[in-house]
Amino acid sequence: MAYQVNGTAIEADEEGYIVNLDEWSKELAAEIAKAENVEMTENHWKVIEFLRNYYDEFQLAPAVRVLVKNAKKKLGADIGNSKTLEAMFPDGAAKQGCKIAGLPKPTGCV
Amino acid sequence: MPDAKKFLYVNRKAPYGTIYALESLEVVLIAAAFEQDVSLAFLDDGVFQLTKDQNTDGIGVKNFSPTFRALGDYEVTKLFVEKESLEERGLDPSDLQEITWEDEDADWEEKPSIRIVSRAEMADIMADQDVVLSF
C-alpha cells in the first residue's frame, strides 16, 4: 500500500507501516492518522514526538508498557497512563502510535 | 516474580556479519514481556556487541548497539561480560558502552547493567539458570 502526500506516493507495508523511515513528515503523519481514523490532538503530537525521540535514541520502537512508563516520566501522568494512551490510539498505543510516527512495528507486537 | 524462570541468553558472535546478535536482542525484547528473570551473557566475540562508538555506515546495516541501552526499560538489568573474552581481544571494560537501569526501589537511582565476571563465575551463572539459549 502507499500514502499520498502532496502528490507523492509514500510506500508502506501491508499493515500500513512506512517502508523508508526517512520519508516521514508531519503531513504524512496526518495522512496515516486519517487512514487509521485517529483524530490528532496536541497530545497525540506529543506522543508521536516522544516515540520518534525514543527511536532516535535507542533504535527501537518501544513496547506498550515501556511507552506508558516513559511517557509518564517525559509527558506527565495525565498522558502517560495506559487508559489515556489506549483511548488516544484505539488500535494500540505502541502499535498505532508507531505507525503514525513513521516507525517500525514494535518488536513483539502481533 | 514467584513463578519466574531464570533465562540466560548467551551471545558469542560479533554484532555484524551474521544475524545472530540482532536476533538474540529481538528475542530478549519479546521474552521480556513475559516477566521472566532474564539475563544476558557476552563471551567470545560476543563481547564486541557491547563496544562503544560503533559505526555501521560502511557496511550498510543498522547500528543496533543503542538498543542495548533500552534494556533497562524492559527490566533486563543483568548483562554479564566475561573478563577473559575481553582480555583475549585486547579489550577492557572502558571499551564498552555505558548501560544503566533505573532502580524503582531506590528512588530511580541509575545503576550499571554490565557486570564483568570471570570465566569460572560465568560457569556458575550458567549452572544457576532454568533455561540457557545460545546465539
A98 in active site: no
**CA-based nearest distance B64→chain A, Å:** 6
User: What's the pLDDT at B30?
Assistant: 87
The ipTM is: 0.88
CATH 1.10.10.370 intervals, chain A: 42-100
Contact A108 B30 (CB under 8 A): yes
The distance in angstroms from the start CA to the end CA of chain A is 19
Q: What is the pTM of this model?
A: 0.91
CATH entry 3.30.1420 includes domain A2-35: yes
User: What's the pLDDT at B71?
Assistant: 96
Task: Name the DSSP class of A67.
Answer: H
A42 phi, psi to nearest 5 deg: -55, -40
Assign domain B6-134 one CATH number from 3.40.800.20, 3.40.1260.10, 3.40.50.880, 3.30.465.10.
3.40.1260.10
CATH entry 1.10.645.10 includes domain A42-100: no
CB < 8 Å to B62, chain A = 59
Question: Which single residue is written with the C-alpha cell 492518522?
Answer: A33
pLDDT at residue B1 is higher than 60: no
Q: How confident is the model at residue B104 (pLDDT cuts 50, 70, 90)?
A: confident
Per cent of chain B over pLDDT 90 is: 87
One digit per residue, the tens of pLDDT, for chain A of length 110 reads: 899 998 999 999 999 999 999 999 999 999 999 999 999 999 999 999 999 999 999 999 999 989 999 999 999 999 999 999 999 999 999 999 999 999 999 986 65
Q: How many other β-carbons are positioned within 10 Å of the β-carbon of residue A32?
A: 23
Q: CA B132 to CA B135: how far, in whole Å?
A: 10
B63: exposed, middle or buried (Cβ count in 10 Å: 0-12, 13-18, 19+):
middle
B55 interfacial to chain A (CB closer than 8 Å) = no
User: pLDDT tens across B40-84, in order?
Assistant: 999 999 999 999 999 999 999 999 999 999 999 999 999 999 999
CATH 3.30.1420 intervals, chain A: 2-35
User: What's the pLDDT at B82?
Assistant: 98
Single out the residue of B110, B109, B97, B30 nearest to residue B64, CA to CA: B97
